[in-house]
Amino acid sequence: MERFINLLKQSFIAVRSYKLRTFFSLLGIAFGVASLSIIVASVQGSYHRAYQTIEVFGPESILIFSGSREERGIRQRKKTLTMQDIEVLKKNIPQIKLIMPVLYVDEAQVYYRGNIITTRAYGVSTQFEEAWNWYLIEGRMFNEEELRRKKNVCVIGLYVKKELFEKTDPIGKMILVNKLPCKVLGVLSRRGTTPTGRNLDDRILMPYTTVMSKINRDFKYINSIRIRFEKGSDVEKLVEKVRQILRQNHHLRPDQPDDFFILSPTEIIRFLVNLTGTLVLFLGLSSIISLTVGGFVLANLFLLSVNERKKEIGIRRAVGAKRKDILIQFLLEAILITLIGSVLGFILSFAGAYGLTKIAQFPIKFSLLSFLFGVIVSVIVGVISVLNPAIKASRLNPIEAIRE
């Protein structure tokens, strides 16, 4: 044990003495570990976000959009869903707990006493809170009477409240939504952002009848349909049933693609996994390159170090140091460098993660696992890289080494 402690002390002295070698070695290892740590943390963060999103979305819920998946991909907004679709689905699927039409008003201009913002207005039913598990923190939701009579009333998100009213109580105030006067009845609770970075609190809810008749002026088509099934329902089977009913109701031939898109919890997980996979691939290549470069730098610097330290090695051998002592000392030096590099890399990964979350709203969740993974990989790379120089150093002839 005493012998090992002495070797460890010698390793510390060597690491401190050869500052330039240590600096370049640390740099390569630190960048590699930072990339690896972000990979592990992003994978953990994405799965954490996926389950959070599903919890918010509703594990027994789906959202049906107008237009095919391909049309949505190129941002084409083709309306294909109707109120009749809702009636047909309600009639044919007894497992439906609630079903609600949704209409969008993109880039709605909202005005209140000199303050103006552009937001998104949604036409919804009185069941919005139950449909999304998203409840009000101030005021109330509009009722069935106000929905039936197409009243000019609304509920606003927290972001809209902050931008329009600042510290003023919004309840009962009149705002203009695309020049339509609306009375604010309530304020939604905070919901945050989507995995793609959209602010969910930046919205206004209105009765869908009001949006249909007074803003969109379209009495037939709706943008999407929100469905919640009874607890314990087989969502995947019901999704297929919904799909078949809508295809039949839209008179689509077998060779024609769906003119709608169904978003289910499974689709959300698939999307987030694909999103994570792209970043993991990029960072994975970066970390492999960084660690490989770090390994080569380490190997070459230690080879140079062996030549520089021949006399030191020869003297140590002459006074009783064994070959394995020299081998262990060089390996300990490599392990020390990689451990310090790992700590620096983990600190760098926090900075990288901060940038990713700010720029791309990417979910990052650091844990002990991400740190340990980076440490283990870097130590393995360090040991493998230095093994050949360490063996070469241990096999030096002490007499010849002292002469040089």
Residue 236 phi/psi, 5-degree rounding, is -65, -40
The CA-atom distances, in angstroms, between 366 and each of 282, 339, 356 are 19, 18, 13
Instruction: Taking the CA atoms of 338, 339, 345 and 349 in sequence, report the sign of the dihedral they define.
Output: positive
Residue ranges of the chain with per-residue pLDDT less than 70: 1-18, 21, 46, 69-77, 195-197, 272-284, 286-287, 290, 355-363, 365, 367, 369-370, 398-404
* Residue found by looking up tokens 């960072």 in the block: 283
What is the pLDDT at residue 286?
66
pTM above 0.75, yes or no: no
Query: pLDDT tens digit string along 32-62?
Result: 777 777 777 777 776 777 777 777 788 889 9
Burial of 54-77, coded b for 16+ CB within 10 Å and e otherwise, reads bebbbebbbbbbbbbeebbeeeee
What is the pLDDT at residue 329?
78
What percent of the chain shows pLDDT beyond 90? Answer: 40
Query: pLDDT tens digit string along 354-395?
Result: 766 666 556 676 767 667 777 787 788 888 888 888 788 777
